[in-house]
Amino acid sequence: MTVNVTQAITDIRATLDWMRSTKKTGGLGYSVAQVEATRAYAAYKDLGGSAWPNPEPSPTPTPTPTPTPTGHGSVDGNPFEASAWPNRGFPGAVAFDPNSAAMISDLCAKAYGGGWLNMNAWSVAVYRLKTASGQPPKTITLEIPYKGAGQVTVPWLPSFQVPPDGGDQHVVIALEDTGKYWEFQGTNSPLQNGRAHSVAMGDMVAGDALPTSTDRISGLTTPGGLVRPEHFSGKLGPIALRCAIPDENAAFEWPSIQSDGGGAGKIPSGACLYLDPSLDLSKFGLNQYQLVLARFWQAKGMWVGDSNGGSNTVTLYAEATCDGSVYPFGSLSLPVQLFQQAHVLTSQSAGVAHRAMLRKPEHLAGVVRVDPRGERSGA
């Protein structure tokens, strides 16, 4: 006798489908289906079958769709790639700079007011739009050419009118659907009048957050480590904090490309201040918003990017309120006692060695090059 096991399996599966279709309603239909399934199983066994199909197979998992770029990276909604300094955190062991204790002591003596989140003057305005905005672009004339070009054309909306107060006038224009951004250093040349001191460009989705211009007022990429209102509502995950300190070292290190300081023995631009993730934050009397900053610091570090001109605080960078950003508080600070618990990391344990900056020479405009010792030299 020819045994048609394949046909038996087909019949059983059809019966099981009937069972599942009637299970929700119950009653006679489901009972009959049970009987038919039992008979089908017996016939299947008689035909030499051994493995009984699962009457309630596990549903096939729905694959997670690949998100469309929205102007942010893939790390908790924040800009730049996962390995970039604002996102990478501390995947391996860290090492403290041999002079860490002395540098932190000097910092706390000068920044005795602790940390302060700057949302206003000398902060950063970030204006976002889609590629198809329907508005004509704007040409900005540069005081310092970018890779030989004296002008740059950028997407524009009439609302892009207000730079932050303060001499730097940092303004970022970002395309939310592609991730491309233009980072302007205004230096009292109002952007809305079609002039800026300098510009750098990058990619907020796949970019590595390294500076793309050597003519900069700060050593780190402006959009990197920038706190936003969405960080306090939980819509965005942790990022590294970018800060300015009262006085930087004359030297600098990855990922910075310059220093705004001149003191020996100070913390260099590009250094990472490390706050032990195991530190019990409940001892410092922090409110819910201070805890957000402190936990970000523990998870991703605090990176020195500028000097704040001898202020008695450490300045933390946030999106300026002039671009429409609204925060759930009027001001926010961190106590100096937290900074007393910090350590300065060696550049190798904070990220990639200095030489990593040289792997993409197209990042720099050709005016200044950075060698592995963190020294500047002519092009």
Least confident of 156-160, 204-208, 359-363: 359-363
Q: Which band of pLDDT confidence, cut at 50, 70 and 90, is reported for residue 261?
A: low
Residue 185: CB partners within 8 Å, gap ≥ 6?
Answer: 168, 169, 170, 196, 197, 198, 199, 215, 216, 217
The one-letter amino acid at 291: L
The pLDDT assigned to 15 comes to 56
Q: What are phi and psi of 125, to 5 degrees?
A: -90, 130
| Residue 368 pLDDT level (bands cut at 50, 70, 90) | very low
Q: How far is CA 121 from the centre of its chain?
A: 23
What confidence score (pLDDT) does residue 356 get?
37
- pLDDT grade for 3, boundaries at 50, 70 and 90: very low
Strands 343-344 and 272-274, sheet pairing: antiparallel
Q: What is the pLDDT of residue 198?
A: 84
State the pLDDT confidence band at 355, using cuts at 50, 70 and 90: very low
pLDDT band at 269 (very low <50, low <70, confident <90, very high): confident
For residue 272, the model assigns a pLDDT of 92
pLDDT digits (tens, 9 = 90+) for 271-330: 899 999 999 999 999 999 999 999 999 999 999 988 887 789 999 999 888 778 899 999
Lowest mean pLDDT across 214-223, 244-253, 367-376: 367-376
Task: Collapse the DSSP code of 360 into the 3-class scheme (helix H, G, I; strand E, B; otherwise coil) and give the result.
Answer: coil
Contact (Cβ atoms closer than 8 angstroms) between residue 226 and residue 318: yes
Question: What integer pLDDT is reported at residue 7 of this predicted model?
Answer: 58
Q: How many Cα atoms are found within 13 Å in the side-chain-facing hemisphere of 50?
A: 0
Cβ burial, residue 75 (10 Å; 0-12/13-18/19+): buried
Residue 134: pLDDT above 70?
A: yes
pTM of the model: 0.71
Percentage of the chain lying above the pLDDT 70 cut = 63
Contact 199, 182 (CB under 8 A): yes
Q: Do the beta carbons of residue 314 and residue 245 sit within 8 Å?
A: yes
